[in-house]
Chains A and B, each alone.
Chain A
Amino acid sequence: MLDEKVAGRLPVLGESMPSLEVKENAVTVGRDELPALLRALKEDPELAFNYLTNLTATDLGDRITVVYHLVSFIYGYQLTVGCDIPRDDPRIPSVMEIYRGADWQERETYDLLGVIFEGRDLARILLHDGFEGYPLRKDFTWAGGRD
Chain B
Amino acid sequence: MITGTDLRDRLEHDIKTDRYVLNMGPQHPATHGVFRVVLTLDGEVIVNAEAVCGYLHRGIEKLAEARTYTQVIPYTDRMDYLAAMLNNLGYVQTLEKMMGVEVPERAEYIRVICAELTRIASHLISVGTYSIEIGGITGFFYCLRDREKILDLIEMISGSRMTVSYMRVGGVSEDLPAEFLPQVKKLMKELPAAFDEYDGLITGNEIFQARTKFVGVLNPETAINYSASGPMLRASGVNWDLRKARPYSVYDRFDFEVPLGRNGDCFDRFRMRILEMRQSVRIIEQALEGLPEGPFMGKAPKVIKPPVGEMYHEIEGARGILGYYLVSDGSPKPYRMHVRRPSFINLGLLSELCRGWKLADVVAILGSVDIVLGEVDC
Contact = CB atoms under 8 A, between A and B. Distances in A.
A80 interface: yes
A69 B323 contact: yes
Interface string A61-100: 0000001010001001010100000000000000000011
B378 A51 contact: no
Interface stretch (A13-21, A31-39, A123-131): A123-131
| Most chain A CB neighbours (cut-off 10 Å) among B224, B228, B229, B323 | B224
A104 interface: yes
Contacts of B61: 112, 136
A104 B345 CA distance: 7
Contact of B312 (A50, A59, A80, A127): A80
B240 A73 contact: yes
Contacts of A69: 312, 323, 325, 340
Nearest to A78: B246
B314 A53 contact: yes
A30 interface: no
B327 interface: yes
Interface string A94-124: 0000011111110010001000000000001
Given A54-B323, A54-B325, A101 B314 contact: no
What is the predominant secondary structure among interface residues of chain B facing chain A?
A: mixed
Contacts, number: 82
| Most chain B CB neighbours (cut-off 10 Å) among A53, A80, A99 | A53
Given A101-B226, A101-B345, 20 more contacts: A50-B225, A53-B229, A53-B323, A54-B312, A54-B314, A54-B340, A58-B335, A58-B336, A73-B240, A76-B245, A76-B246, A101-B348, A102-B227, A104-B345, A104-B347, A104-B348, A112-B62, A126-B54, A126-B57, A136-B62
Interface of B: 53-54, 57, 59, 61-62, 66, 222, 224-229, 238, 240, 245-246, 310, 312, 314, 321, 323, 325, 327, 335-336, 338, 340, 344-345, 347-348, 377-378
8 contacts: A50-B225, A54-B312, A58-B327, A99-B225, A99-B227, A103-B348, A127-B57, A135-B59
